[in-house]
Amino acid sequence: MSKVDAIIATARSENRTFLLENEAKTIMQKYKIPVTKFSIAETVEAAIQSAEQIGYPVVLKILSRDVIHKSDVGGVLINIKNADEVRTGYQTIMSNVQKHKPNAKIKGIFVEEFAPKGIEVIIGALKDPQFGPALMFGIGGIFVEVFEDVSFRVAPITKHDAQEMIQEIKGYPILTGIRGQEASDTTALVNILLQVSKIVTDYPVIKELDLNPVFAYPKGAKCVDARIILEEEST
């Protein structure tokens, strides 16, 4: 069984259609999509150890099958600089989540490499009942939320499709560099789009895939959050 199949099987055995961030990121790694380094900790001490291994600063996130939007419940703390901050951060996240979602089953804390700020883009895939999986691209923040400035293509896509998806959004000049800013590495984004197209084509069981955000840099790009929702199991 491939690693991806094993992850899906585990989710099924636990009656989950939602893959945890570490599971989704492991799938991304299998497809050579760059993601932040991460590990899972079930105790404060283990979290400190992970942080030391990854190197400060780190990011702490709640890891729970019942929390899909982690920051909505106070479940994300970025730029944690030392062991003391891991200790207090761990407690803060636990109490935030308990307050917002008292019944959430908590698996632990996700300790992650802190990625320097880039241009935030969203790369995703969702299934259209008629056309099957479609790829989505947009620039994060208000561009997606307020202006709905996104592009779509039915999977599988070609390199040329991916380039068009990036170029046709209204916010495209943000990626080519405005006001003296350096241009983002759109080739890295094209590669991620192509790999996501492969993933959803290889695994029709994926109902929804969201890389939100991906940080685009002058050289390269990095996915800092990944979410996958599976189809309900057919009986």
By the 10 Å C-beta count (0-12 exposed, 13-18 middle, 19+ buried), 62 is classed as: buried
Residue 19 binds ligand ADP (CB under 6 A) = no
| 224 binds ligand ADP per the rule CB under 6 A | yes
Q: Of 155 and 229, which has the nearer Cβ to ligand ADP?
A: 229
Cα–Cα distances in angstroms (integers) from residue 20 to residues 43, 87, 181, in the given order: 18, 23, 35
Residue 137 binds to ligand ADP (criterion: CB under 6 A): no
C-alpha 131/C-alpha 155 separation (Å) is: 9
115-144 residues near Mg ion, rule: CB under 5 A: none
Q: Which does 92 bind (CB under 5 to 8 A by kind): Mg ion, ligand ADP, none?
A: none
| Residue from 76, 109, 122, 150 in contact with ligand ADP (CB under 6 A) | 76
Does 218 sit behind a cis peptide bond, omega within 30 degrees of 0 on the bond before it? no
| 3-state DSSP assignment of residue 199 | helix
Return the one option of Mg ion, ligand ADP, none that residue 59 interacts with (CB less than 5 to 8 A, by type). Answer: ligand ADP
Nearest to 211 by CA among 20, 74, 25, 23: 25
Q: Which residues contact 149 (CB under 8 A, 6 or more apart)?
A: 138, 139, 143, 169, 170, 171
151 sits near ligand ADP (criterion: CB under 6 A): no
Residue 212 interacts with Mg ion (CB under 5 A)?
A: yes
Instruction: Specify the residue, 161 or 213, whose C-beta has the smaller distance to Mg ion.
Output: 213
Residues in contact with Mg ion by the rule CB under 5 A: 212, 225
Residues in contact with ligand ADP by the rule CB under 6 A: 36, 59, 61, 69-71, 76, 78, 112-115, 213, 224-225
